[in-house]
Amino acid sequence: MSRTTTCHAAWLALVGELLQGQTLAREFPHAQVADLLRESFDAACCSLNAVDSRWVDHVVGGWPDDYLPEVPALDVLPDATTHPLIRWYAVTRRSAPQVLGRVPREVAPAGMTAEWAGFARSFGITHQLSLPLRVGEGIEAYVVSRPEDDFGDADVELAGLVLPALACLLAQHRVLHGVPDEQSGRARDLGLTERELAVLRLLGAGLTAQAIGHRLRTSPRTVHKHLEHLYRKLGVRDRLMAVQRARDAGLLAPPTGLVPRAGERRPRPRIPSPRPADHTHGTPAPGEKCVQTPVPGRP
């Protein structure tokens, strides 16, 4: 069995465990995901990065905990717009994995790439592979890093298999995030899985099966199978009765407003030019490994 097949099987097992498990009030298992990413790609570290609409790069988490420094080398915060991978996703808006060394010079000139490499090398990062979770108004991605050997075609292929699983897990987490413990307990008592509760919450928000599939990164056919299981467990025959029964049972709160339409288009962000002046000095925000400074003149 090839390494790719073995790793893919491990990811399928993790996804199945998290998607179909009984509903529990818990945070997204970033550390568990990061450990499997490091193992899958033989990486020294894994980070979760979020670049906001002001082009500030927040390192939300880094694993292992002691690999990334609390304060960047020389206390200098690099310009987020000079990172080749960030520029790649901002310019192309592609959602596929990308290797740092494969970003073309048209996107990140040699001098800019060398500047970033010099900064990252000081804490053991030479090669990076990005798995983007969100590209649009800001960028969110897991990034695995190595100090020596670069990532090859097999790594990119594996990342392409892993990425849909990650996106699926995070999509469900966003739907279930903040569910009151009482609702989770009632869902657990009825034997609902986390996946079924996520479908039920979107159903209660008025989404169609197609829209639910879009939000949860799955097919409408799969959504209909989850609905069949929900109807059986709730003792109803259609979506209207299911929503009403769920509200009566305390599984759903009364409607309070509309949710954004799935697939709603948002303005395309423009990647700003790098700062012409020197880098800004400062310290990271509490709870973050490193926060890159915004470009002057942008809101």
For 110-167, how does the pLDDT look when each residue is reduced to its tens digit (9 = 90+)?
A: 999 998 888 888 888 999 999 999 898 789 999 999 999 999 999 999 999 999 989 8
For 163-176, how does the pLDDT look when each residue is reduced to its tens digit (9 = 90+)?
A: 998 988 888 988 99
Please give the residue range of the domain that contains residue 157. 3-177
Q: Is 65 domain-assigned?
A: yes
Q: 94 versus 6: which is more confidently predicted? A: 94
Instruction: Looking at the structure, tell me whether residues 145 and 186 fall in a common domain.
Output: no
Position 265 scores a pLDDT of 55
Instruction: Looking at the structure, tell me whether residues 141 and 219 fall in a common domain.
Output: no
Q: 162 versus 58: which is more confidently predicted? A: 162
Instruction: Looking at the structure, tell me whether residues 125 and 146 fall in a common domain.
Output: yes
Q: Is 274 domain-assigned?
A: no
Average pLDDT, the chain: 83
| 127-136, strands of its sheet edge to edge | 57-63, 45-51, 138-146, 127-136, 98-99
Position 100 scores a pLDDT of 96
Instruction: Looking at the structure, tell me whether residues 130 and 188 fall in a common domain.
Output: no
CATH number of the domain where residue 119 is located: 3.30.450.80
What would the mean pLDDT of 70-80 be, rounded to a whole number? 58
Q: Is 255 domain-assigned?
A: no
Q: Is 297 domain-assigned?
A: no
Instruction: Looking at the structure, tell me whether residues 186 and 237 fall in a common domain.
Output: yes
Instruction: Looking at the structure, tell me whether residues 123 and 187 fall in a common domain.
Output: no
pLDDT tier at 41 (50, 70, 90 boundaries)?
very high
Instruction: Looking at the structure, tell me whether residues 48 and 192 fall in a common domain.
Output: no
% of residues, the chain, pLDDT over 70:
79
Position 259 scores a pLDDT of 47
Q: Is 271 domain-assigned?
A: no
pTM value is 0.75
What would the mean pLDDT of 192-217 be, rounded to a whole number? 94
Domain end among 145, 177, 209? 177
Q: Which tokens go with 195?
A: 């996946």
Instruction: Looking at the structure, tell me whether residues 141 and 157 fall in a common domain.
Output: yes
Question: In the block, which residue shows the tokens 């954004």?
Answer: 260
Domain end among 131, 160, 177? 177
Among the listed residues 202, 212, 191, 170, the one whose alpha carbon sits nearest the alpha carbon of residue 60: 170
Q: Is 264 domain-assigned?
A: no
Q: Is 266 domain-assigned?
A: no
Position 88 scores a pLDDT of 95
What would the mean pLDDT of 213-235 be, rounded to a whole number? 95
Domain end among 177, 208, 225? 177
Q: Is 295 domain-assigned?
A: no
- Torsion sign over Cα 9, 15, 16, 21: positive
CATH number of the domain where residue 211 is located: 1.10.10.10
pLDDT tier at 14 (50, 70, 90 boundaries)?
confident
Q: Which tokens go with 205?
A: 């928000």
For 246-291, how does the pLDDT look when each residue is reduced to its tens digit (9 = 90+)?
A: 999 999 988 765 444 555 555 554 555 555 544 443 444 445 454 4
Instruction: Looking at the structure, tell me whether residues 166 and 32 fall in a common domain.
Output: yes
**How many angstroms separate the CA atoms of 231 and 238, rounded?**
7
Instruction: Looking at the structure, tell me whether residues 87 and 208 fall in a common domain.
Output: no
- Checking if the pLDDT of 192 tops 90, the result is yes
For 77-91, how does the pLDDT look when each residue is reduced to its tens digit (9 = 90+)?
A: 556 788 999 999 999
Concatenating the DSSP letter of every residue in 89-121 gives HHHH---S-EEGGGS-TTTS-HHHHHHHHHHHH
Domain count, the chain: 2
